[in-house]
Amino acid sequence: MANGGLQYTFARLNIAEKLIVVNVLVFILDGLSMALLGFGFSKWFHLPKDFVAFFGQPWSLVTYSFFH
pLDDT class for 17, splitting at 50, 70, 90? very high
Contact of 66 with 26, CB cutoff 8 Å: yes
Tell me which amino acid residue 37 is.
L
Cα torsion at 14, 7, 5, 17 (round to 10°)?
A: -30
What is the pTM assigned to this prediction? 0.62
C-alpha span between 9 and 12 (Å, rounded)? 5
Q: What is the mean pLDDT of the chain?
A: 82
C-alpha span between 22 and 29 (Å, rounded)? 10
- Where are the domains positioned within the chain? 14-66
C-alpha span between 65 and 68 (Å, rounded)? 6
| 21-45 per-position pLDDT tens digit | 888 888 898 889 889 988 877 777 7
